[in-house]
Structure 1
Amino acid sequence: MDQGLAGLIGAVVGITGALGAAYLAGRGQREQWRVQLRRDTYGQFLARTKRAERAGKAVRLAMDSGRFEPGLYATFAAAVAEAEESLALVLLEGPWSVASSAEDVVRHLDGWRWVVELWYDGDGTLTLERALESAGRDEDRFTQELEQFTNEVRRLLHGRDHTLTARLAYRLAARHSA
């Protein structure tokens, strides 16, 4: 083989290697961007659902103590609406396991809000005792679903099962938010 052909082959191999490295680096950057986008989307959803949870607990405590005020319900309803808005982003971002879990969270959060609304604005057929019992069930289901969502997100973002870690973190957060 003459020197010209060897030089040409060497140049082609060098260019191919450089292009391959650039392609792989670009894929890595896109993957990092995707993970960060998901982390931001899921984080926003968690923050909004936790805000709604705190507002719901304030409503329940006020109902239980006889100090319910319409402004508390309005705050709760607005926080639930914000959680529902951020659900749309989670549904777009996916994947299905996380999106489905987020839908379950919002379904129980909205059920909790609906019971309070029915008691507050209803025709009086829902007693305070029944409203508190039903809201408590929805709150418990919400808590379970939020824990499941958190675990699904951690599994997706970190590639491991964090069931125990998620439970501990959730319980610690619940203690501090109460």
Structure 2
Amino acid sequence: MSNKVIHAFYNDDDILMDAVKKVKSANHHIEEVFCPFPVHGLDKALGLAPTRLAITAFMYGVTGLGVAIWMTNYMMIQDWPQDIGGKPNFSWWLNMPAFVPIMFELTVFFAAHLMVITFYMRSRIWPFKKAENPDPRTTDDHFLMEIPVHNNEEELTSLLKETGAVEINVVEKH
């Protein structure tokens, strides 16, 4: 079995979106689309499942809030209680309004930092990893649609020409 793929280049995101819809409606599988910037609606046009990263962000925020509550209770109430401005030092609940900025900051801190780590792990972007884009133009001003070839090279090429591709290459994928 051959590992041939067709690389179809586009220079406009609207033309790319129309092309993705036409290729999908012709029952061809699109392996990947490389873009220099996010294209709104491309995930739905490709039929990708919605992301669950928002759920993890919420869980990371709740974890940060829990750490903030534990930390302020331990530091300010149990370990080293101090009378600051006449505030009672025996109850976390009575002092809670003074701890709101700490709780907010740690909630945001945990959510932001753990989301960056999760995004990199989920995207498999490791330090010093070699770029996987097949053409450097996809980081500047071109969009690339990668479609596997299954003995239908002529049909795919003519379909992609109809969709407005500015360049079509058949390459061996390694």
TM-score range, shorter chain: under 0.3
TM (norm. structure 2) is 0.27
**Which structure's residues are more often strand, by fraction?**
2
TM (norm. structure 1) is 0.26
**Which structure's residues are more often helix, by fraction?**
1
**RCO greater where, 1 or 2, for CA within 8 Å and sep 6 or more?**
2
